[in-house]
Structure 1
Amino acid sequence: MNETGWAIDIDRDDIARAALVADPTAPLAPGQVRVRVDSYAMTANNITYAVFGKPAGLFGNDQGYWDFFAERDTPGRLPVWGFATVTESAADGIAVGETFYGYYPMASHAVLNVGNAGPGGFTDVTPRRTTLPPIYNQYQRIGALPDYRAADHDYWPVFRPLFLTGWLIADQFEDEGDYGVQQILIASASSKTAIGLGFSLAQRGGHRPETIGLTSAANVDALAAQGIYDRVISYDQIMTLNAATPAALVDMAGNGAVTRVVHSHFGGQLQASIIVGKSHWDAQADVEGLPGPERQGFFAPGRSQKRIADWGGPAFGRKIAEAWLAFMDVAPRLATIDKRHGGEAALAAYREMLSGDADPKAGILVLPA
């Protein structure tokens, strides 16, 4: 399939059904560019994208993640974060050979519609994308990224969007006075978003709540050794926590059983329950009649837009850059990069992540070529 390129098609109604297909090229229209996807990450976050591929209310309209790269009457194309290089350009201001960081389909190539091209990059203005969150439609020139370092290149797709989500959750806690809690319980604490949250909370000066990572018993020692959280305990130890201490739960994976245990144990002392992802896509939600607060979803693009409005775009960018560079100083000891090459390996990586068998200490990086 290398001659024509490849893509992975996913059944919109059954995300376990995925197939590697040929993806032939077509002539570009004016304003379009064709890019070769150089590398992208496959993480639990991408499974959340698949779960919410169909309209789910996240975007405040009748669109979902399938609408970024697939028309309604076609199979889903999963969005991924990565780097791509322009191989053909019919757009002013975008040259062949330029490399951009951004949102791409799980494929070897992609065609993007260029708008607002400038020194920093461009915005995709495909009609169906213009009503989707702007943060997903921005493509940044690698040379214009203020916090890009060549040594960190492979960590950008693996950690950047997940770290940003964790950092934004930490910012929301600080903005909300930590909801008045003394401890923050972080479920699926070995996930990369959770690690970004734990790291960001630890960077805060002054008083802050204790961070408690919740993970499987087999992961406790290794996760504790990373020093990201104040404490790490197994799921079966939740009941040993002091139920009289005000707490908040951040659920990274949509694990209904863990949510029920935490809500039942803390009851009225649970001040906030935030769900971030749904990588446990096949688990029962089990949220009917939960004691304690109503669960609230966290949507990183919405939080980003709020902070851009609060601080201005340049200040928002500077804050992220400072936090990211600090995190990159420790990221290599938190995860190894596991490179997979080609379409068959890409499909296998998707199925591995879907099964829940992926090693949380590795960052899967797919190199499509």
Structure 2
Amino acid sequence: MNDTAWAIDIDRDAISKAALARAEHAPLRAGEVRVRVDSYAMTANNITYAVFGKPAGLFGNDQGYWDFFAERHAPARLPVWGFATVIESAAEGIAPGDRFYGYYPMASHAVLSAGKVGAGGFTDITPRRTSLPPIYNQYQRIEALPDYRADHHDYWPIFRPLFLTGWLIADQFEDEGDYGADQILIASASSKTAIGLGFALAQRAGPRPVSIGLTSKANVAALAAQGIYDSVIAYDDIATLDAAVPSAFVDMAGNGAVTRAVHGHFGDALKVSIIVGKSHWDAEADAAALAGPERQGFFAPGRSQKRVGDWGAAGFGQRIAEAWLGFMAVAPRIARIDRREGSAAALDAYREMLSGRADPAAGILVVP
């Protein structure tokens, strides 16, 4: 297939069914821009987007992640985070050559409807997107990002949205008095969101809960060597932890076996159980039969909107910028860049992440 104009179509009812499709360049309407996607990340977070592609109540309406880049009658397009360059513009204030960081479809090109155009960027105002979380609809000019550094470029798609989620989880714990927990168990601890959470917890001033990373036995030594968590143990060793210690559980992957092990071991000593992602999309949690607290979801856009309300947009941005630049001092040693080029490689990267075969020590960067 010609790599200059392609997209990956996904079956809305079976996310393992994905295929390359040729993309047509229809004429732009007033206010639209056509961008070439320069690079995007493929992470476990994207699999969570696919799992919740159809309406699942996350957005408080009848929409899901498929609604960002496809009409209901069309094949699904997976949202990804990355950089893109404008190649054609019918929008005032945006010119060919302008570059933006934001949310794009898994494709070589995209058409966006630009509103609220300013020096910092614009908001996509495609009708179906206006009722979706605002954080996903904002496109930021690279030159206007206060914490952007050229040498961090490839790490932005790979880590930025996931680090932000981890930072927001840590912020919620602090805001909630850590739910009364003395330790926080973080499942799928090698995931980039979990690493963001572990890093943010470690930066807290004053007393805080102990962070315990949970991972597969094969990953324990390497993950412990990174120094992100206070300790790292294998899933098989959960039962060795003191079951009387007031604990919190943050589940990044939705693996049912791990969830049952944690809930069964700690029971009422488990003060809160938070599920963040569903990268283990084919695993069942049997939540109805779990001991301990009812599981609750974490939704980063909602938490972001709360903090923007609390601190103002500028205050929120300043806090994120400071945390991000601190994290970028360690990110390159946590994950190497695994660059994939072209449409076939993009499809393979999606299938690899979906299968769970992706190396957690690599950050997959797709260059369409």
When normalised by structure 2's length, the TM-score is: 0.99
Long gaps (5+) in structure 2: none
Question: Which position in structure 1 is the counterpart of 2:263?
Answer: 263
- For 1:282, the aligned partner's letter is D
Distance 1:130 1:284 in 2: 33
Question: Which position in structure 2 is the counterpart of 1:204?
Answer: 204
User: What pairs up with 1:275-354 in 2 under 5 angstroms?
Assistant: 275-354=275-354
Question: Which position in structure 2 is the counterpart of 1:126?
Answer: 126
SS state of the match for residue 312, structure 1?
A: helix
Question: Which position in structure 2 is the counterpart of 1:247?
Answer: 247
Question: Which position in structure 2 is the counterpart of 1:272?
Answer: 272
Contact 2:3 2:108 in 1 (8 A): no
Q: CA deviation at 1:285?
A: 2.2
Deviations 1:79-104 (A, max 9, x none): 00000000000000001101000000
Contact 1:257 1:286 in 2 (8 A): no
Question: Which position in structure 1 is the counterpart of 2:362?
Answer: 362
SS state of the match for residue 67, structure 1?
A: helix
Contact 1:189 1:214 in 2 (8 A): yes
Q: CA deviation at 1:4?
A: 5.5
Contact 2:3 2:342 in 1 (8 A): no
Distance 2:340 2:261 in 1: 37
Distance 1:4 1:289 in 2: 50
Distance 1:289 1:224 in 2: 32
Q: Mean alpha-carbon deviation: is it higher for 285-294 or for 97-106? A: 285-294
- For 1:323, the aligned partner's letter is A
Q: Mean alpha-carbon deviation: is it higher for 280-289 or for 341-350? A: 280-289
User: What pairs up with 1:1-369 in 2 under 5 angstroms?
Assistant: 1-2=1-2, 5-368=5-368
Q: Mean alpha-carbon deviation: is it higher for 254-263 or for 226-235? A: 254-263
Identity %: 79
Distance 1:140 1:11 in 2: 30
Distance 1:268 1:354 in 2: 34
Q: CA deviation at 1:367?
A: 0.1
- For 1:133, the aligned partner's letter is P
Distance 2:16 2:3 in 1: 27
- For 1:141, the aligned partner's letter is R
When normalised by structure 1's length, the TM-score is: 0.99
Contact 2:260 2:285 in 1 (8 A): no
- For 1:77, the aligned partner's letter is R
Q: CA deviation at 1:287?
A: 1.6
Deviations 1:221-276 (A, max 9, x none): 00000000000000010000000100000000001111111111111100000000
**What value does the CA root-mean-square deviation take over the aligned residues?**
0.7
Distance 2:162 2:259 in 1: 21
Q: CA deviation at 1:288?
A: 2.0
SS state of the match for residue 97, structure 1?
A: coil
SS state of the match for residue 288, structure 2?
A: coil
Distance 1:23 1:259 in 2: 41
Contact 2:115 2:122 in 1 (8 A): yes
Distance 1:365 1:43 in 2: 9
Deviations 1:180-239 (A, max 9, x none): 110000000000000000000000011100000000000000000000000000001000
- For 2:340, the aligned partner's letter is R
Long gaps (5+) in structure 1: none
Distance 2:290 2:223 in 1: 29
